[in-house]
Amino acid sequence: MRGIGVLLLLLLASHSLMAQFNPHGKGTDYREHYRGQFHFSPQTGWMNDINGIVWQGGQFHMIYQWGKNIRHGGYATSPDLLHWRDRGVALIPQKSDLPSTALRNVSGEQVYSGSAVVVSGAVAKGITGSEKEAIVAIYTGTGKGTCLAWSNDGGEQWHDYPNNPVANRMEKDYPRDPHLFWFAPQSKFVMAIYENGTTFYGSKDLLHWEFLSNLPFGFECPDIYPLPLDGDPRQIRWVLQDANGSYLVGDFDGTTFKPEQQPTRIMDVGPDFYAAQSFQAGSLPNNDPRIIQLAWMDHWNGGIGEVGWERNATFPVSLGLVSVEGEKRITRQPIRETASLYQNDRKWGAQRVPVGKNLLEGIRAKQFDLTLEVDLSKSKALTFGLQVANDYLIYDNYNKTLLSKSLTPDARGHVRIRLLVDWGQLEVFGNDGRFSYTQQFAFAPDEAGIRLFTDGDLAVVSLEFHELKRCW
Ligand code: FRU
């Protein structure tokens, strides 16, 4: 009897860790070749876009596109944005290819991308029937339109809103990818959706939507958020971005986005950055003002031969907006919480590094955070760089490029290069996030050497190395 009781308890406990359905079987130890040790990836199967990311009930929640043939709402939670637990599939569409024991709980043939907000009171009641705080996911149900699903028990059970779609009846697979946010000055929700570029709709209750405006900008998965220019909270600008990471800087007045006169820029120049979403401004705990962003680490251009799962999320970054070269540009920097994963720290001070000397000699690591600062004005090198296992990251001091992309030195003639390296993931940041380059990379699994190399005298200002603890 007692044994059965314990078994039941265990079953209940394991069930309560899952959302609607566990497609992952016994799961995995996350030690496969190329599997990120501090990056989120689904336990098994395919992932693409980041969808709803919210803070609710004392934890972070993430819905993401899961399932290679039929898209579902995969679901994960985290206490700190570093340690994630994949909780299975929350949103299971009508055409699901999961076993019939997986209840088809939402509208549409497939669940395409969207976002999420946290609501309570009357808005919650109109959707869930209760004033209790709820996560409301807005998604594109293919063949249907813009739909809502919700959970008010912290993500254990997910329910569809019965009168879906709430907007944008869908012909074929368009419009799609609604991004929701609360526009406080007018006490209303705004939806930015991929429709003839980007179209804005407004609503007081998430159920009734009115057209606000359209902007011929953007391809798939819009996101929009306010940022203080150069860190000055009196200088707020709005940023509108699409799935490619192309962005406009301007103003949003609750109806219309008015871009400033400057070229469209791209916030990440690497090959594997797509469909990023951010936590809504002001929605993080402890009045944290940051805009934290996660993206899908791919660009519909193939993987690196992962086995057991396919693709992963980028490491969370904090976004900034800075004036540079007469423009306003986005900066992306790994969240400061990264430091809580540091171990085996090493630091080097200012010194001249001659050809043939490797400051990193003897260090072996496959997951680390490294920052190199070089004074170009005092260096003779034409090229220098870092070798990580079988990859070479080269700075070309003649063309002022890193990885063949522009990274100009700061006013003092310095460049700072920061690498986040994981077993199959590479993120490179330059000059405090003005440069951002995201790439899946098949680091040779058995190689863990790191080398700083140069073809001429190099004026190193500082070098810092931190191994990162694994998060699974
Ligand atoms: C972008 C995208 C979205 C769509 C989703 C389907 O990567 O094509 O537009 O909603 O993927 O998985």
CA of 116 to the centre of ligand 1 (A): 16
pLDDT at site 3:
52
CA of 274 to the centre of ligand 1 (A): 10
Ligand 1 site residues, Cβ closer than 6 angstroms: 48-49, 65, 71, 112-113, 140, 176-177, 220-221, 243, 274-275
Mean pLDDT of 84-92: 98
Q: What is the pLDDT of residues 296-352, one digit of tens each?
A: 999 999 999 999 999 999 999 999 999 998 999 999 999 999 999 999 999 999 999
List the residue whose alpha carbon is closest to atom 9 of ligand 1: 220
Distance CA 427, CA 335 (A): 13
Instruction: Please give the backbone phi and psi of residue 27, each rounded to the nearest 5 degrees, phi first.
Output: 85, -160
12-16, 25-29, 163-167, 394-398: segment of lowest average pLDDT: 12-16
pLDDT at site 9:
44
CA of 142 to the centre of ligand 1 (A): 11
* Architecture in CATH for domain 342-468: Sandwich (2.60)
Distance CA 72, CA 97 (A): 10
The residue type of 324 is V
Q: Which of 66, 71, 177 to mutate to test the pocket of ligand 1 (most atoms within 8 A of CB)?
A: 177
Mean pLDDT of 190-204: 97
Break the chain into its structural domains and give their ranges.
Answer: 20-334, 342-468
Q: What is the pLDDT of residues 91-122, one digit of tens each?
A: 999 999 999 999 999 999 999 999 999 999 99
List the residue whose alpha carbon is closest to atom 12 of ligand 1: 112
Mean pLDDT of 182-201: 97
Percent of the chain at pLDDT > 90 equals 94
Say if residues 379 and 459 touch (Cβ distance below 8 Å): yes
pTM for this model (two decimals) = 0.96
CA of 215 to the centre of ligand 1 (A): 20
CA of 244 to the centre of ligand 1 (A): 12
pLDDT at site 16:
56
Distance CA 216, CA 222 (A): 12
pLDDT over threshold 90, residue 459: yes
CA of 362 to the centre of ligand 1 (A): 44
Mean pLDDT of the chain: 95
pLDDT over threshold 70, residue 130: yes
140 Cβ contact partners less than 8 Å away, ≥ 6 residues apart: 108, 111, 112, 113, 114, 146, 147, 168, 170, 173, 175, 176, 177, 178
6-20, 91-105, 292-306, 419-433: segment of lowest average pLDDT: 6-20
Nearest atom in ligand 1 to 176's CA: 10
SS3 325: coil
Cis bond upstream, residue 175 (ω within 30): yes
CA of 7 to the centre of ligand 1 (A): 41
Distance CA 134, CA 393 (A): 45
pLDDT at site 264:
97
Q: Which of 176, 244, 301, 310 to mutate to test the pocket of ligand 1 (most atoms within 8 A of CB)?
A: 176
Distance CA 128, CA 372 (A): 51
pLDDT at site 11:
44
CA of 451 to the centre of ligand 1 (A): 39
List the residue whose alpha carbon is closest to atom 6 of ligand 1: 112
Q: Beta-strand (E) ranges in 184-256? A: 188-194, 198-203, 210-215, 223-229, 232-241, 246-252
pLDDT over threshold 80, residue 170: no
Q: How many Cβ atoms are within 10 Å of 1's Cβ, its own excluded?
A: 5
State in words which class domain 20-334 has. mainly beta
List the residue whose alpha carbon is closest to atom 7 of ligand 1: 49
Say if residues 366 and 417 touch (Cβ distance below 8 Å): no
SS3 3: helix
Long-range interactions of 68-71: CB distance < 8 A, separation 24+: 68/310, 69/97, 70/95, 70/96, 70/97, 70/109, 70/110, 71/110, 71/111, 71/112
CA of 370 to the centre of ligand 1 (A): 33
List the residue whose alpha carbon is closest to atom 8 of ligand 1: 220
163-177, 274-288, 446-460: segment of lowest average pLDDT: 163-177
Q: Which of 51, 69, 112 to mutate to test the pocket of ligand 1 (most atoms within 8 A of CB)?
A: 112
pLDDT at site 174:
82
Nearest atom in ligand 1 to 221's CA: 9
